[in-house]
Amino acid sequence: MSIIKLIFKEIAHRKLNFVLSILAVLMAVAMFVAFFTMSAAQQRETIRLTRDMGFNLRIIPGETDMNDFWMTGFSKHVMPQDYVNRFLDYKSFSFAHLTATLHQKVSWHDMDIILTGISPEIEPSGRNKSSMSFAIKPGTVYVGFEIANKLGLEKNAKLELFGHVFTIAQTLSEIGSDDDIRIYARLDELQRLLKLEGKINEIKALNCLCLTSGDEDPLVILREQLNQVLPDAKVIMNKTIAVAREKQRLMFEKYFAFIMPFVIIVCAAWIGTMALLNVRDRKPEIGILRALGYESGKIAGLFLGKASLIGLVGAVLGFIAGTMLSLKYGPAIFEITARQVQPVYGLLLWSLLMAPVFAAISSFIPAIIAVTQDPAQTLREE
């Protein structure tokens, strides 16, 4: 009788053992598939959420007095706006979401306010990324909470600012910082209003180099990179935001790396236990097969072949289960990037390759026990 026939007879004779073993493989594969199917959405969601912490790099004129900078919140010196474009020639730098800004404190309507001009973002990497700051349309401004509250300003109202009339695109919610006394405008329009065409006093950026290996200080690396582009500028990093962002990104991966080995061990032990129980229950049959002349290789092939079949069936069912779980619960978990939760059919191929190997390894010890049994001793015991 061929090995294949023996395998299917074995399955037909012990259906429950077969089903429980498949369930173990199914669970392991389903968890892997669900994780990797949702990982694209998870990564984008984490990036979006941590990105919303705000810019963590500030590039300012080199001659800035840092005592004045921290007292006023921005540099009193200016630099050419063209500085921001220099980053476009350096694709491997750890700077992203670069935005040229101009800040100026002025007195207006018996208030001290801050005027801030914002340019469209640029990406040195050349990749198309969603903007971190709001896009300001020509002729419009965004008004901080305290200013709007004190002057009774509302959305779509007209606002006269030093002889220029703007439309209020939005009155901002209370933030609890100097942004509440700030008016945002397009950079080019604010430059004309302040007669500072082509000038800025800060480049805001998001760094892509938060946690480095060893004892390296990421700020030292960033300053070395900046020196290649703007040797007469200086960079300031909000390390609290930078480290929090990177730790948040790594948290999910670390959790998965911690929990998955336990799942794999439990599933492997489950399959191995099912195979061991099968060997114990079939001792008489194995003794008869050995007495009839079936070689050790054929007996081992029976158990390893069954394990491989369990792996194949579990891989298909696990892929289906993992994908269905991802599609059902993924969009609710990752609401911002729900569209990223899509079936990854390449995982089916990996499952079909790895699950049979996983099941066969789990059944290896029971298979060795089966082939080393003395048929005469087994039959004598029965």
Model confidence over 256-299: pLDDT tens digits? 667 667 766 776 676 667 666 666 665 665 666 666 566 667 76
Whether residue 68 is found in the same domain as residue 41: no
Same domain, 162 and 212: yes
Q: Are strands 199-200 and 164-171 parallel, antiparallel or unpaired?
A: unpaired
Question: Rounded to an integer, what distance in angstroms lies between the CA atom of residue 242 and that of residue 226?
Answer: 17
- Of 237, 260, 285, which closes a domain? 237
Asked if 120 and 189 sit in the same domain, the reply is yes
Percent of the residues in the chain that have a pLDDT greater than 90, as a whole number: 24
The pLDDT mean for the chain works out to 77
3-state secondary structure of 61: strand
- How many independent structural domains does the chain possess? 2
Do 295 and 194 reside in the same domain of the chain? no
Q: How far apart are CA 238 and CA 55, in angstroms?
A: 8
Whether 115 and 179 map to the same domain: the answer is yes
For tokens 């609710």, name the residue.
Answer: 332
Residues 76 and 32 both lie in one domain:
no
Establish if 242 belongs to a structural domain: no
| Residue 338 domain flag | yes
Give residue 78's pLDDT. Answer: 94
Range of the domain at 264: 3-49+247-381
**Residue 183 dihedral angles phi and psi, to the nearest 5°:** -115, 125
Of the residues 237, 259, 287, which one is the last residue of a structural domain?
A: 237
pLDDT per position as a tens digit, 19-58: 887 887 888 888 778 877 776 666 665 555 545 445 578 8
Q: Which of 326, 282, 273 is nearest to 23 (CA)?
A: 273
Least confidently predicted of 129-138, 263-272, 351-360, 369-378: 369-378
Q: Which of 225, 237, 226, 242 is nearest to 62 (CA)?
A: 226
Which sign does the torsion angle of CA 216, 222, 223, 229 carry? positive
Report the C-alpha gap between 321 and 319 in whole angstroms. Answer: 6
Question: Does 180 lie in the same domain as 124?
Answer: yes
Cα 141 vs. chain centroid, distance in angstroms?
34
Mean pLDDT calculated for residue range 193-211: 81
Residue 345 lies in a domain: yes
Tell me how far apart the alpha carbons of residues 354 and 345 are, in angstroms, rounded to a whole number. Answer: 15
Q: Does residue 196 form part of some domain?
A: yes
Asked whether residue 266 falls in the same domain as residue 207, the answer is no
* Shared domain check, 173 and 257: no
Rounded to whole angstroms, the Cα distance separating 189 from 139 reads: 8
Q: What does the DSSP assignment read for 144-212? A: -HHHHHHHT--TT-EEEETTEEEEEEEEPPP-SSGGGGEEEEEHHHHHHHHT-TTEESEEEEEES--S-
Are 264 and 375 within one domain?
yes
Residue 206, in any domain of the structure: yes
Q: Is 357 domain-assigned?
A: yes
Q: Quick one: pLDDT band at residue 347, thresholds 50, 70, 90?
A: confident
Residue 243 in this model has a pLDDT that exceeds 50? yes
Query: Rounded to an integer, what distance in angstroms lies between the CA atom of residue 208 and that of residue 103?
Result: 25
Query: How do residues 121-177 score in pLDDT, each as one tens digit?
Result: 877 655 555 555 678 899 999 999 999 999 999 999 999 998 899 999 999 999 888
Domain boundary among 237, 270, 303: 237
Dihedral pair phi/psi, residue 73, rounded to 5° = 95, -5
Residue 221 lies in a domain: yes
Question: Is residue 72 assigned to a domain?
Answer: yes
- CA-nearest of 51, 136, 121 to 336 is 51
One domain for residues 362 and 336 = yes
Same domain? For 45 and 75 the reply is no
| Interval 73-94: pLDDT, tens | 899 999 999 888 887 776 666 6
- Sequence-separated (6 or more) residues with CB below 8 Å from residue 93: 87, 124, 225, 229
